[in-house]
A and B are shown apart, each in its own frame.
Chain A
Amino acid sequence: MAKKTPKHPLDDLIRKDRIPHIWCPGCGIGTIFSSCLTAIKESGIDLKKFVMISGIGCSGRAAGYVNLDSFHTTHGRAIPFATGVKLANPELNVIVFSGDGDLFAIGGNHFIHAARRNVDITVICVNNFNYGMTGGQVAATTPNMAKTTTTPFGNPETPFNLPLMAYAAGATYVARWTMLHSRDLTESISEAILKNGFSFIEALSPCPINYGRRNKLKPLDQLKLYQEKTIIKNDAKPTELDINFEKGVVLGKFVDIERPTYGDSYNKICRPDKLE
């Protein structure tokens, strides 16, 4: 092994003393994490004013690797924790980086309420279609009939359409990309960081060890699907965003609207004397 490793442009945003990370070969979290770090860096905002908050799961470990103020909270509770952070210090740029199981099953209630309130935070969901950390159980995003360790006969349930849920709950920015579309993803995260409102980005990721293996999806084949079976369609109707690789999965920016944030409304209604 070479003693000197070349400097990576994102090195200063990584806790190098915590590397190697836990993510498996072929996993997409690292790529999505890099997009997020690039967006943070390119924003030009003082790094001290960023905070990353994660829940539990493989994606939840991101908070442990980022060299910013960062919190690895309880399962499903990253969003309400982040809500407290943002409301108590509105100067901070709050990013929630977590997985589909964490944000949409155990934490689903918090997601819809934070979107409804329009809390000014950015939520990045790595969707790998299963609970990877615990060995590959069914999630609220697992496709119908997919095999997981708790759906050995195929998943009898219907998965959430996450952008539709975000839209319906009131998110002011909604986008979906895959880890293969890292430039688009980075651009969306950049926009989301600067957005004054609740932003949601779904980033599709392979989980070759726990999901791919049980569903005849080899890592490279899955990347091919991301390349060949996706359709970029900005402003697509949220109701048409079900994930179906046979039909083609729609990617893009679907929502980018303005609406008063919780903080703005709270100031206006509850403490008008504080305003200029």
Chain B
Amino acid sequence: MKPAINTGEHFITGDVACAEGAIAAGCRFFGGYPITPATEITEHLSARLPGVGGTFIQMEDEIAAIASVLGASWTGVKSMTATSGPGFSLMMENIGLGICTETPCVVVNVQRVGPSTGLPTQAAQGDMMQARWGSHGDYEIIVLSPSSPQEIFYQTITAFNMSETYRLPVLILADEIVGHMSEKVIIPDAKHIKTVSRSRPKGRKDRFKLYEPGPNGVAPMPAIGEGYNIHVTGLTHDTKGYPAMTVDTQKEMMARLTGKIQNNLKDIIKTESYRLDDAEIAIISYGISARTSLSAVDKARRQGIKAGLLRLITIWPFPEDQILKLAEKVKGFVTVEMNLGQIHLEVKRCAGGRAPAFLVGHPGGTIISPDTVVKVLQEAF
């Protein structure tokens, strides 16, 4: 067996760092389908997984890839897939199955430009709303966004930990630049990597109820083959897991599926502030655009504009409280993102008219330059 954790300093791409993060997190099954710019995650795991006792398979399409991941997860194995826009669209129905059946797994979307085939080798952040609402029906989801290869390494571990804690698919919304750029990535010793595994049921098997929530609102999860005789369905189901076509069961199930996220927002929502304490203008950004924004803050400050940055690490659930608090004290918001205004609309909603919200957007294909951001700061305020 090869070492599961490649401790040391590396000069690697975000995609490879993501794959290494997955292995460090304990991922031992990957069902994938190649697509630019996420292919390198799939390639790297095809080489790495068998050496650490894991299994890799390239499925026939992205629908099959996510289906295989859900199946593998129910055997008790941490599982993942990675894709980009078109594949992400194909995965949507089974992401919903994962949410409904409370199946832990990680789905990475290294975003490229859409709609449709778009610009496959160029970056965008156009799938942010799809990540939130892409599968049909109502639900809560956890979505993280990394700004660097180093961060995607840790974030992949966090994504697994959150998926195991809250029993749902956790999505990583990276972008082509973070996925393809090479930077220094430090992989720590195993003892410095905190991994979480799903809680397992205890007590009598004949009295076991598949979806009876534990203290944090999440039910312990058995694996196939342990003798629990579980039934798992995408139909509306009761705490036993049995389909029940009633309004009350739907209400109860939805309360559980949404409550386990809404009641743990403090644990799930992660943001990072830069020069925000005395800021008059709050830049809201994430992913590669947050690095543009970091530089824009410094440039603006040199010109006497009191700008600061709130970098969103967790995108969904959305940090509503943070935005609301900022809205009470700043003159306005500027959201920087490589789309035509997706998170911008959320910022506007949360600001609730207390402060104006502007967008520095881009239809995708190239990074937003810090100067473009500074120009908007100069003109808008």
Chain A residues in the interface with B (C-beta under 8 A)? 15, 17-18, 48-49, 51, 53, 63-64, 67-74, 76-77, 79-89, 91-92, 109-110, 113, 262, 266, 270-271, 273-274
Contacts and interface: CB of A to CB of B under 8 A. Distances in A.
Given A18-B242, A64-B242, A82 B232 contact: no
Interface string B49-83: 01101011101110111011111111111010000
Contact of B64 (A88, A113, A273): A113
Interface of B: 1, 28-29, 31, 50-51, 53, 55-57, 59-61, 63-65, 67-77, 79, 93-94, 97, 223-235, 242-243
The 6 closest A-B pairs by CB, nearest first: A84-B71, A84-B68, A80-B64, A88-B72, A80-B67, A84-B72
Given A48-B226, A51-B224, A85 B233 contact: no
Given A84-B31, A270-B50, A67 B229 contact: yes
A80 B224 contact: no
A74 B31 CA distance: 17
A81 B98 CA distance: 11
Contact of A80 (B29, B68, B230): B68
10 contacts: A15-B231, A70-B229, A70-B230, A72-B234, A72-B235, A79-B64, A84-B31, A85-B75, A89-B225, A113-B60
B170 to A, nearest CB: 18
A69 B229 contact: yes
A51 B308 CA distance: 54
A271 B97 contact: no
Given A77-B67, A88-B72, A88-B79, A83 B57 contact: yes
Contacts of A81: 67-68, 70-71
Contacts of B28: 88
Q: Which residue among B55, B65, B70 has the maximum number of chain A CB atoms within 10 Å of its CB?
A: B55
Contacts of A89: 75-77, 223-225
A209 to B, nearest CB: 20
B29 A84 contact: yes
Contacts of B51: 271
A91 B29 CA distance: 16
A271 B227 CA distance: 30
A5 to B, nearest CB: 21
B373 to A, nearest CB: 42
A85 B232 contact: no
Contacts of B227: 48
Given A51-B225, A85-B224, A91-B225, A64 B67 contact: no
B233 A72 contact: yes
A74 B225 contact: no
B75 A83 contact: no
A262 B58 CA distance: 12
A270 B306 CA distance: 56
Nearest to A22: B243
Contacts of B73: 84, 88
Given A64-B243, A67-B229, A271-B51, 15 more contacts: A18-B242, A49-B225, A51-B225, A63-B231, A63-B233, A72-B235, A74-B97, A80-B63, A81-B70, A83-B67, A84-B73, A85-B75, A88-B55, A109-B61, A113-B64
A73 B31 CA distance: 17
Given A69-B225, A92-B75, A92-B225, A84 B243 contact: no
